[in-house]
């Protein structure tokens, strides 16, 4: 639970402030699956956290801009990048995406698990993400589609958007985009006891038509 008056920037800065590793440190499996065949170019990683996806993209030849609302997360991500000899391949920018957005157009815009227990204007952010995709480029949105299999007392007020709903929310102009993937998959995870389990995730991948 979160305080009703806590803002998203406050929540995520507090979440990362102690600089403890919060995730695996590696790239999200669905990002790897759905971008591995793309020609490297410029990439924008929205909600990059401590940098796992951005580092994987940078290691694969992409020139990456990693964005997060938490300065603490970005500081640790930058340290990881220099330790991996990727400091020159990745630029880190702090943005509250409800207020500001990185400049430029990108060959890949990735929004993996851009979800928050504190309210954010997610639909508006995703629409702005589509605007930031260069002609011929790709927008990848990965999100949780439901609770993990072991959760039996889920908060009934939490609503997960479907993959089809996310595509509708993007309001993509007809004829200007190619829809490549719209699906919900059961992603393998480990439960709190370390046993194999699954969690449903959405994948939406669309490509902007070339000029």
The pLDDT value recorded for residue 24 is 66
Q: Confidence class of residue 140 from pLDDT cuts 50, 70 and 90?
A: very high
- Per-residue pLDDT of 176-204, as tens digits, reads 999 999 999 999 999 989 999 999 999 99
Query: What letters, b where the CB count within 10 A reaches 16 and e where it falls short, cover 69-100?
Result: bbebbbebbbebbeeeebeebbbbeebebbee
Q: What six digits make up the tokens of 36? A: 């591995």
Q: Rounding to the nearest 10 degrees, give the CA dihedral for residues 12, 13, 14, 16.
A: 80
Round to whole Å and give the CA distance between 54 and 59.
8
Round to whole Å and give the CA distance between 92 and 95.
10
- Answer yes or no: pTM beyond 0.85: yes
The pLDDT value recorded for residue 4 is 60
Domain topology for 8-208: Rossmann fold (3.40.50)
């Amino acid at each position: 639970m979160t305080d009703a008056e806590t803002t998203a920037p406050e929540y995520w800065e507090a979440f990362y402030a102690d600089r403890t590793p919060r995730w695996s440190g590696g790239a999200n499996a669905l990002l790897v699956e759905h971008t591995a065949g793309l020609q490297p170019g410029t990439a924008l990683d929205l909600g990059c956290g401590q940098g796992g996806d951005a580092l994987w993209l940078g290691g694969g030849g992409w020139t990456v801009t990693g964005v997060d609302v938490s300065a603490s997360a970005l500081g640790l991500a930058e340290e990881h990048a220099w330790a991996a000899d990727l400091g020159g391949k990745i630029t880190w920018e702090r943005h509250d995406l409800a207020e500001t957005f990185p400049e430029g157009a990108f060959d890949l815009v990735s929004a993996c698990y851009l979800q928050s227990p504190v309210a954010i204007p997610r639909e508006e952010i995703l629409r702005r993400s589509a605007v930031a995709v260069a002609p011929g480029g790709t927008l990848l949105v990965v999100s949780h589609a439901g609770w993990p299999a072991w959760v039996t007392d889920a908060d009934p007020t939490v609503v997960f958007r479907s993959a089809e709903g996310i595509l509708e929310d993007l309001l993509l102009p007809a004829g200007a985009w190619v829809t490549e993937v719209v699906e919900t998959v059961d992603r393998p995870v480990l439960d709190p006891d370390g046993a194999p389990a699954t969690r449903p995730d959405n994948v939406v991948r669309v490509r902007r038509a070339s000029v």
